[in-house]
């Protein structure tokens, strides 16, 4: 295998990976920085798909404390409070840098200041945006800046597994595969950053780009990283109904509800009045999504098992001017968002759980930094809309600074040649034959399995059924084979085998953690334990790889270093069922 030596290896080219590369380079342009992205830089991933915007305190009537309180309340108070505080306190300078250095230009209010719009679950309108196409602006401008610097980029190149040093004490890069050529090679690095995105595509109705299959999380798991609160998977309330199209499950952004959109069931009832009389459609994502799901399951949905979103009362001119991206998206399925009700359904969107990290993005594996959706802890049990791209940019920025400092401190530790070869042969095994099933059928089964047994409403028996079946499917993937064994270039079946293996690896952690948490909190709802239990479950659930692929689980009380338990219960928790 070819070996490329570098100071910093970054896996992923979303908001976190791009900002990490820019900050590391600008810290010291002499550093050798290598990026690998599964698709085309600036064109793939989920950050580019961000519609709504980025939460940041800019108004004198707002405060960091308010943003922090909203983030913790939305997260059911199991957030890592240091991570949450870092998020809100560093957002203002991150937005400033995005504008004056990266070149993003956010929409302006009439007074010339950055416009901020309302998002659900927030006590102040603090979401900055570029119409409803914010992600395209951020990723496009960051990509321009990458091209203006001496940063090496491998496009259509995926990570296979992380590499350890010869003494086994640290991560020193990864084995990669060029999807175009099928070539497998090694990148030996002083510091490795994983920022490949989440794995919500494990569900049959989902919003992320199709290439997001939990690759980074799975690689970190196999390397021995510790994960936190993997049961917390967010379902966005308004995914578009589009039949068999890839648009099915794609988002109609939260700004619609912030602006006054209304949700109706199939009987024409504005059902959120029953579930959250005060906030109604501007309730948090977990509550709105679960309410829609319950209406559908109770037989009050539309004929397509959906509900309606209606913005016609806002006026067609306002809708077309304010939400041009959403109007165009809905036109693609033959509907007119500005003038008629549109069918929507909850759609799997974001993982709050991930690799357990500190505010410096470091995990339990030396030499490895994790940021963006691969990292867990910041959002607790539920992420507020607008805090996602905020997370990616704030912590991508921090990861770049930390990586640059570590790269100057550390020597380049050589990797284990035997481990690299073992990884190569493991992933080439499908070319040598096997008895595994059809990878495409297995992926469809996983999506149905997770939706039905580990989705918006869960219970212990179904979760155990899902866990048992996932173990069988993982074993099948270990024996998978490809039909065409004589080429590796653009071999989609082979790459799908890798995708589905990673997908199952993450699914197992989600199901395992969901079975462990015997309560309901945020995005995690157990119909056999429907209440939030602060007495026994103000805890985080940690897990990592044990012998083979067994999962080792531990529970630890949430570290209440900024808000104490008494303040939380007195000021925030409602003594009601979900």
The catalytic residues are: 236, 257
For residues 439 and 482, what is the distance between their CA atoms, to the nearest angstrom? 9
Q: How far is CA 571 from CA 62, 72, 73, 152, 568, in A?
A: 19, 12, 10, 50, 5
399: enclosing H helix or E strand: helix 387-409
Helix (H), strand (E) at residue 81: helix 81-97
At 554, give phi and psi (nearest 5°). -135, 155
Q: Classify residue 176 as exposed, middle or buried by CB count within 10 Å of its CB (0-12, 13-18, 19+).
A: buried
Instruction: Using alpha carbons, list the distances in angstroms from residue 132 to 140, 200, 567.
Output: 15, 22, 37
Alpha carbons 504 and 283: distance in angstroms, whole number: 32
Three-class DSSP labels, 531-551: CCCCCCCCEEEEEEECCCCCE
**362 C-beta neighbours (distance < 10 Å), count:** 18
Tell me the backbone φ, ψ of residue 385, rounded to 5 degrees.
Answer: -55, 135
Q: For residues 512 and 552, what is the distance between their CA atoms, to the nearest angstrom?
A: 10
Helix (H) or strand (E) holding 87: helix 81-97
Residue listed under structure tokens 């992320």: 208
Q: Count Cβ atoms below 10 Å from residue 207 Cβ, excluding itself.
A: 24
Name the nearest CA neighbour of 434 among 482, 365, 468, 390: 482
Sheet holding 127-128, edge to edge: 54-55, 127-128, 116-117
Three-class DSSP category at 368:
strand
d(CA 120, CA 385): 7
């Amino acid at each position: 295998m070819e070996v490329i030596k570098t100071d910093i290896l970054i896996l992923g080219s979303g908001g976190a990976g791009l900002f990490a590369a820019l900050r590391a380079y600008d810290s010291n342009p002499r550093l050798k920085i290598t990026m690998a992205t599964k698709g085309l830089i600036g064109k793939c991933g989920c950050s580019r798909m961000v519609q709504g915007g980025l939460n940041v305190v800019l108004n004198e009537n707002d405060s960091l404390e308010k943003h922090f309180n909203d983030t913790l309340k939305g997260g059911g108070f199991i957030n890592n409070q240091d991570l949450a505080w870092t998020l809100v306190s560093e957002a203002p300078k991150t937005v400033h840098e995005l504008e004056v250095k990266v070149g993003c230009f956010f929409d302006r209010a009439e007074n010339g200041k950055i416009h901020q719009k309302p998002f659900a679950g927030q006590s102040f309108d603090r979401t900055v945006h570029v119409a409803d196409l914010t992600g395209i602006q951020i990723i496009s401008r960051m990509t321009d800046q990458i091209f203006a610097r001496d940063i090496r980029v491998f496009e259509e190149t995926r990570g296979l597994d992380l590499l350890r040093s010869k003494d086994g004490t640290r991560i020193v890069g990864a084995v990669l595969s060029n999807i175009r050529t099928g070539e497998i090679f090694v990148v030996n690095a002083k510091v490795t950053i994983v920022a490949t995105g989440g794995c919500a595509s494990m569900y049959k109705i989902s919003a992320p780009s199709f290439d997001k299959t939990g690759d980074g999380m799975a690689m970190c798991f196999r390397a021995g990283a510790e994960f936190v609160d993997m049961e917390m998977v967010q379902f966005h309330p308004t995914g578009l109904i589009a039949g068999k199209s890839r648009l099915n499950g794609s988002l109609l952004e939260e700004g619609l509800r912030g602006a006054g959109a209304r949700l109706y069931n199939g009987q024409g009832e504005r059902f959120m009045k029953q579930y959250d009389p005060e906030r109604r459609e501007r309730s948090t994502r977990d509550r709105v999504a679960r309410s829609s799901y319950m209406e559908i399951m109770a037989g009050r949905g539309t004929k397509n098992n959906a509900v309606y979103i209606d913005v016609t009362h806002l006026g067609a001119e306002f809708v077309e001017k304010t939400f041009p991206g959403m109007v165009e998206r809905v036109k693609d399925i033959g509907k007119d968002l500005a003038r008629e009700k549109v069918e929507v359904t909850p759609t799997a969107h974001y993982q709050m759980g991930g690799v357990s990290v500190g505010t410096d993005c470091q995990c339990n594996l030396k030499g490895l930094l994790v940021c963006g959706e691969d990292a867990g802890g910041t959002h607790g049990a539920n992420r507020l809309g607008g805090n996602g791209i905020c997370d990616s940019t704030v912590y991508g920025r921090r990861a770049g600074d930390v990586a640059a400092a570590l790269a100057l401190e550390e020597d380049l530790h050589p990797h284990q040649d035997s481990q690299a070869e073992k990884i190569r042969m493991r992933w080439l095994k499908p070319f040598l034959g096997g008895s595994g099933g059809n990878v495409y059928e297995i992926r469809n089964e996983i999506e149905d399995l997770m939706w039905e047994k580990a989705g918006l409403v869960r219970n212990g028996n179904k979760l155990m059924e899902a866990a048992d079946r996932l173990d069988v499917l993982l074993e099948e993937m270990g024996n998978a084979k490809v039909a065409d064994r004589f080429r590796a270039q653009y071999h989609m079946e082979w790459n799908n085998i890798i995708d589905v293996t990673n997908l199952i690896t993450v699914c197992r952690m989600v199901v395992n953690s969901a079975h462990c948490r015997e309560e309901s909190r945020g995005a995690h709802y157990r119909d056999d334990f429907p209440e939030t239990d602060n007495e026994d479950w103000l805890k985080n659930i940690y897990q990592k790889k044990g012998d083979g692929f067994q999962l080792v689980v531990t529970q630890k009380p949430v570290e209440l270093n900024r808000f104490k338990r008494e303040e939380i219960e007195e000021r925030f928790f409602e003594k009601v069922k979900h």
